[in-house]
Chain A
C-alpha cells in the first residue's frame, strides 16, 4: 500500500491515466501540486503565458488526438482566466480536465486572497464539476472526471482543489481505480434497433437524400463508417464547420460545408432534399437560417449520442440516440440487408436526377468549378488558403481563429481526414488559434501545423509566441492581414452602410516581422501575389522554426456565399456583393 499526499496523488493519477501533457500556470493555491510534479512526475508540463491559452492548448491537443486535454491553474485569477477556454471546449464538446486550485478549506467563503467560486462560475459551461472535500477522494474523483469528460457527449470537467488537501505532510492510501461506474451517469451504448431499421428504410426510399454530418462524427470516430455508408449509397454529403474532415473533402460526393457561409451546392441540396440523415450535428442557427423555413420537404433522421440535442431545434422524424460508431455499423448492416432483399433500392434514376441537379448547382456557383472571387492588385484571402493547401499537400493540421479568415480556410482547404481542422465553432473564440496549434504540434511534432488567423485574433493570445519559443513548437502562422476586424467590417458593410465602428486599428498594428524576431521566431511579409507561393514554401521549409507569414490581402473582400437573414431559408444566399439567389 502506498501513501501519498494530495499533490502527489494528482501527479501520480495523471501518470496512471496516461496523460501526455499538462498545460498550466502556477500560483499560490497549487504550489503543493507543482512541487509534487517537479519532484516526481513523468508527465511534462507546458508553461503557457496566460491560463486561457492553457485551456485552448489542451483543447487543440484533445481535438487532434481524441484524448482529453489536461489543464492545471491556480485559484482566483488563474481559474477565471481559464473560463473562456472551458466555455470554448464545452460548446464544441471537447474532452478536457481542468484542475483548479482553491484557497484552503477553512477560508472558503470568507473572500480570502485569490478566492473565487470556481464551481459556481464554471457551472453552466462544464459537463460536470467536483469540489474535493477529502484528500482520500482524489484518485476516485480524477478517474470519474476523465470518465465523464471523455465518454458520451464529451465535455470539460472541473475539479476544484483546496490547497490544504494537497499538503505534502498529510499522506493517504493511493489506489487508482481501473474503472468507474456511476449510477447517475451512463451514456447510451447503442442505438434502438427498431429505430435504426426504420431509418434504413426511410433512407433507401429517398429520392433526394442528403447526409448532414457534424462534429459528433469526428468526436465519435465515425468518419470511416460514414464514408462507407455514403459511398455504398452514392449519396451526397455535407459537413458542418465542426464536421469538416468527417467525410473526405476532396471527394466528388462531398458538397462542402453548409450553413451561413456554406457552399451554394450544399445549401441548395439541403433545402431541396426529401430526406436528411443528420449525424452528430445539432442544427445550429448558423446552419439552419430561419428554422421555420428549414428544408421544407425533408424528413429528418437524427443520430446523436446526446438525447437533448435531438429535436431541440428541428423535429426529427426518426430520432436515434447512441454512439455514432455502433449506430452507423448497425445502419450499414440494415441498409445492406434491405438492398439484398430489394435490389431496386435506392431509386437509381431518381438519384441520377438528383446528382445532375447538384452538378448544375455546383457548376453555376460552386467554389471549385470556377474562380468565384474577384481580382484586384492585392492578394485575395482565398488565394492564400489555396496556396497553403498546395504547399502542405492538403495534409496539414489547420487551426484557426475567428473571423473571415476562418471561413475562407473552412471553404478553401478541403480536409480529407478527421481531426485536421481545429477551430472554435460553437463559441467563436478569437484567440483560440495559436494556443490550439501549440497543443496540436506538441501532440504531433512531425506533422505540419498551420494556424490561419487575422491580425485581430492573433493579438488576443499573442503572448504564446513566448511559450512556442520555450518549447520549440514550430507552428506556421498564416496571418490574413486586412487591417480590419474583417468579419465585423463585412457586417458593417452589409448592414450598417459601411460605418466602421471600432473595426479598424488606425495604424497601430505592430511590425509583425520585428515582433517575431523579438520572440525568437521568423516573420515574413508578403504583399504581392507573385511572391505568395514562394514565401509559403519558405515558411514550411524552415522546419524547426515558428514562421509568421504576414500576408497583406485585399481588405474589401467579403466571405461568400452568405445566408440572407433575417427570414431567409437555407437557399437564400448572397453569392457576391451584388448577386443573390
Chain B
C-alpha cells in the first residue's frame, strides 16, 4: 500500500542524508520526497511517499523515529488527510493542438504560466493521481519536460503535527 509519511526534523546539516540513507541502507524505496523549512526556522518538514505492507511500514517508521534528528513523525495515510503534488510541465503546442492543450488544462484546473510560439508551460497541482492523469491525457510526443515537487501532505481537521 502507498503511504505518505511526514515528519518534523531538526534543521541540521546531515539530517536529510540520514533519512534518505536509511532507505537505501534498509532496502526501502522512496517514491517521492519533499523537504522545506517550516514557520519555525529550527525545524524542517519532510514528506515522503513509499509503498509497503503494514509490517514493512511499521518497521520503517520505527527506524525513522530512532534517528536523533527526527523530532516527530506521522503516517498521514492512517487518517483523513490532504495531499498535494505540484507539477510544471512543458507541452509542445502548435496548430490545432494549441487549443486542445488549453482545453485539457482548463478541465484539470491547471494554469498556463508561460507561453511561447510553440510551447505552453503549465502548472498543475493536486493528488499524484490527478497529475498522472493529466500526463496521460497529453500526447506523449508533445511532452517536453516534467518537473514535480513530490507530495506534501497535512492531516484534515484539528490534528496537527507540531511540537
Contact = CB atoms under 8 A, between A and B. Distances in A.
A128 B59 contact: no
B24 to A, nearest CB: 9
A184 B68 contact: yes
A129 B18 CA distance: 10
Interface string A118-131: 01100110011101
B62 interface: yes
A548 to B, nearest CB: 39
B118 interface: no
A184 B69 contact: yes
B57 to A, nearest CB: 13
Interface in B40-58: 55, 58
A147 to B, nearest CB: 10
Interface string A99-121: 00000000000000000000110
B101 interface: no
B59 A308 contact: yes
A184 B17 CA distance: 17
A308 B14 contact: no
A182 B13 contact: no
A123 B68 contact: no
Contact of A308 (B55, B63, B69, B163): B63
B66 interface: yes
Tell me if B's interface is mostly helix, strand, loop or mixed. Answer: helix
A7 to B, nearest CB: 22
B37 interface: no
B101 to A, nearest CB: 44
A15 interface: no
A548 B10 CA distance: 51
Given A123-B18, A124-B21, A183-B71, A307 B65 contact: yes
A532 interface: no
Given A124-B21, A184-B71, A119 B65 contact: no
A181 to B, nearest CB: 13
B25 interface: yes
A148 interface: yes
A306 interface: yes
B68 A312 contact: no
B59 A119 contact: no
Contacts of B14: 119, 123, 129, 131
Nearest to B25: A124
Given A120-B17, A123-B21, A131-B13, A184 B70 contact: yes
B68 A185 contact: yes
Interface in B119-152: none
A129 B21 CA distance: 14
A183 B42 CA distance: 12
A306 B65 CA distance: 11
Interface in A282-319: 306-308, 311-312
A124 B62 CA distance: 16
A305 to B, nearest CB: 11
8 contacts: A119-B14, A124-B25, A183-B71, A183-B163, A184-B70, A307-B62, A308-B66, A311-B55
Interface of B: 9-10, 13-14, 17-18, 21, 25, 55, 58-59, 62-63, 65-66, 68-71, 163
Given A124-B25, A306-B66, 18 more contacts: A119-B14, A123-B21, A127-B68, A128-B68, A129-B14, A131-B13, A131-B14, A133-B13, A148-B68, A182-B68, A183-B71, A184-B10, A184-B70, A184-B71, A307-B62, A307-B66, A308-B62, A311-B59
